[in-house]
Amino acid sequence: MPYTLTLHNNVQEASLLAPFIETIATENGLDHSLTMELNLAVEEAVVNVMEYAYPQGETGEVTIEVSVADGLLDINIIDSGAPFDPTQKSDPDTSLPVEERSIGGLGIFLVRQVMDTVSYRRDDGKNILTFTKNIKM
């Protein structure tokens, strides 16, 4: 069964993500630890879209589509903002002291740590970031 949540590019609406993910987790018997990881990964990606996909002052939407089938959880984060492929970003050097690290890149790094696959495509004027997690118990 697919789940869908559409938000405006307003970070205030990010508070709706946790209940959305928790509903999916409960209905599909996911453990608390995995639910927390999913919440973190989805929130990181969605907030980045909210903050950077659309020009300052322009209203836009971000849609989160989640499906669970055959032991896989697929999450699509879709927006119509500026083309941007976060998967092209290299991982930050986490061995450096915080003050020496370059700004940015931690969000997609975090998503890569939590999810099994992360991919991006631009289709029909939309950015589609897809995460997959193997949830076979």
Tokens 């973190």 locate to: 40
For each of the domains in the chain, give its residue range(s) and CATH number, in order of start. 3-134 (3.30.565.10)
* Per-residue pLDDT of the chain in tens (137 residues, 90 and over written 9): 699 999 999 999 999 999 999 999 999 999 999 999 999 999 989 998 999 999 988 999 999 999 999 999 999 999 999 999 888 865 544 454 545 444 444 567 778 788 999 999 999 999 999 999 999 85
Secondary structure (DSSP) of 35-71: HHHHHHHHHHHHHHHHHHTS-TT---EEEEEEEEETT
Are 78 and 128 a contacting pair, CB within 8 Å? yes
Angle between helices 32-52 and 106-114 (to 10 degrees): 150
